[in-house]
Structure 1
Amino acid sequence: MTNHDEAAVVRPLTLAWVGRQLEAGERVLGAEALHGGITAEMRRLTIGARGGGTRELVLRTFVDVEDARDGLSREAGALALLTGTGVPAPGLVAVDPAGAHCEYPSLLMTHLAGRPVLGDKGLEARVPLLARQLVAIHALRPAERPPGYTTLTTADTIVIPKGADAGAWAAAIDVIRGPAPSCEGRFLHRDFHPGNVLFDVPPPGPAGPRITGVVDWTATSWEPADLDVAHCSTNLSLLHGPEWGLRFSEAYGEAGGVQAADPSGRLYWRVRDALAFSEEVHLVSQPWREAGRAELTTRFVEERLDAYVTALMDAPSEPRGLCKGKRE
């Protein structure tokens, strides 16, 4: 087996486990490290068949991650659910959520064509596609619902960026001190953002971009759709500017998505997600720089986060109320 760099090397027990999942006559020919993730090691494996053909699989490995078993179990369940639904996702090959056979908890899945697109060019065409894809995900009704949403972010854990609008941040923190709005539950990806969506972007011409896959289903949950909308909005704000975070919520509604009926209910989820990013700006910005967005330094992203929080708090809202329906 060949490897392109040291990070691509598959550990011996894991390699043996992968080999047991292959078809007769197949073997692993090579591995390539995939960059861009925060918590997992990702490798693309080239699989050779006896007749000379090849195919590709993707290996996800969690090393020293506390909730690895839960995350991989959620992803395995989600990939099984998504088969045949029309939502483009990898196919599940095998999973070892507890690391019983591999050195560390691992999941093996099919490889999808396409790539994440994080640049500003063509964003206006991609945002409606992202919104329509998220609406399709939220329309799924699994026989067995995934666990509910949890958060570790509190009013006391927020890290206010240096030079931020103190008034806007104080008001935003006050928003999450109150109880969460009660809303109808939906099947959520829970980490839906441009880095987890694969696109086929053709050369300039009449054919526009299309989504070829949605990846990283380790945080699937059952809670209000606003959680996913808010998370993608924050990512778009930090990648491209606050106006795009605000625009995504509109695009989701235009695509048929249902959010909290009360504007202040929607504000709660947007603010909660944005404030959660304050604790890990350096973690989320590093993969973006590695992907070619060198200008997205930690400081630059902090300034965009401040601008987004300020924009959210400047938007008109009504007294906080309940969504239509109930949380399930």
Structure 2
Amino acid sequence: MGSNELEEKIYKIAAGIRRRVLEHTIKNNGGYLSQACSSAEIFSALYLSILNIERLKKPIAPGKFKGVPSNDNPNSTTGAEFNGKKSKVYDRFILSPAQYALVQYAALIEVGRMTENGLDDFNKDGSSVEMIGAEHSPGMEVTTGSLGQGISQAAGIAMARKLKKETGRVVLFLSDGECQSGQFWEAVQAMAFHKLDNMIAYVDVNGYQCDGKMTTVMNLEPFDKRLEAFGARVFRVDGHNVAALVALSTLKPDGRPTFILCDTDPARGIDVIKDRYPKFHYVRFTNEQEKEKYKQQYEALIKA
């Protein structure tokens, strides 16, 4: 597949992710919709180009929740199977902001890794397809807990892979809101100190968190300069520019963890969500008139 053809496919899958998450949000009277708007190209590029993972023979149907991992529960499973088998040469993908789980599921369906009906048991008792993803949820292999903890777990996995001389990377997806936490900065400092250059992190910098604009809650800017001061290698790109996202994934290691700051739009492709400014974090319809606006937006996307 040529580069132009691949880019077109990535954009097409990104559009599918947005449509699917919007459809799900309408059917369920709520959902993490702005996250799909801002990160669709990132997830699409991850699964179609960036991640070096096993190609599955067919989509996987999500199973039931089999309990948390413990010595007394040998039947517990993780959602890592949706990313293929583990190997010392394959990448490991860690989704840090678990509220992006719906976007992750939509991406897995769109790229053919999860069955088309994989969202049927979304957020139901006994299901692994949780609204806030955990280690057993499709595409996830660890529970990232409160915001800011995913990067620490990813760093631990990356260090273990270094010690075992595995060649596969740890690819991490982050949201900018969780980067406000102190644990995030402790992790970056440790990653730089231990020269974890087998780590690459894509950060969805959409400029908003649950309480509103990042710059008014706790400003991280200049985000790139701060990361560099902690010893990271940093690039800043348009997070909807597929060519830029893919190109940076092939950089050779240079002794530093790599961060790709992806500046994105939380209303990309779904303009109706702009009416919620500045609280984009979660869509919950308050009346039928409001829901109707989103239905009309969905119909427009279907026809596009």
Higher RCO (C-alpha under 8 Å, 6+ residues apart): 2
Higher helix fraction (1 or 2): 2
Normalising to structure 1: TM-score of the pair?
A: 0.27
Who wins on radius of gyration, i.e. which is larger?
1
